[in-house]
Amino acid sequence: MSPNLSGRVALVTGGSRGIGAAIALALGAAGAAVAVNYRQRAEEALSVAAAITAIGLKSIAVAADVSDVAAVAKMLATVTEQVGPIDILVNNAGIALIRGLDDLTERDFDQTIAVNLKSAFLCTQAALPHMRAQAWGRIVNISSGAARGAGGVGLHYNASKAGLEGLTRGYAARLVQHGITVNAVAPSLIETDMLRSGLATSPSRIPLGRFGTPDEVAQVVLMLIGNAYMTGQTVALSGGLSFN
């Protein structure tokens, strides 16, 4: 049920590994040209872009701190020049600084909000003019089950992801008349480096009995991109751990 994205250009922020890499590869497999954003992991981002190029599609790795407005503007200019104007934006960049209530600092809080929430605002604002002009666009924000639950990372992470879902609804309501849909995916306990860093050691509390995979998150992202009637929604992906 993958959409045909031939002729479309996608940007995936934080696309060098884990969920972001799986989404970038899935977009390429669906026919889109893909810009793979990264901040530090150049080699991994280049590998993702090379895999997409190998199937005959345009793809580049583009470095940018997406929490910085000047860096976002430069990134959009590079993508537009080398690949094309952005039709599909996946705001996936994020950090998960595991902190207890008494260990959390102001710097941790500010950095988490900047990377997990502000970056989605900056990238969306930068991509909107082209989407509006062609009366078509798809924006998918990668949230987390922590937006509605306690989670294991910390309250700063909860706040950033809850804010991202509010941002999703706010944009969706204002952009629907322009042919642009805005949705979110909220994965819980996906088998990535974040999970392996100590967030969870066993899937025993997941009713399905296992951790989720990045590819399963990518499947939901493609479903949202392909569905023109769905907007302003958050799709939970938790193996039965929680329900909307």
Q: Which residues participate in catalysis according to the annotation?
A: 157
232 vs 230: CA distance, rounded Å: 7
End-to-end CA distance of the chain: give it in Å, rounded.
Answer: 24
146 vs 123: CA distance, rounded Å: 22
177 vs 112: CA distance, rounded Å: 32
Q: Residue 85, Cβ neighbours under 10 Å: how many?
A: 15
* Chain CA centroid to CA 132, Å: 21
Residue 81: exposure state from Cβ atoms within 10 A (0-12, 13-18, ≥19): exposed
Across the strands, what pairs with 88?
Answer: 10, 138
Torsion of CA 62, 96, 142, 67, to 10 degrees: -50
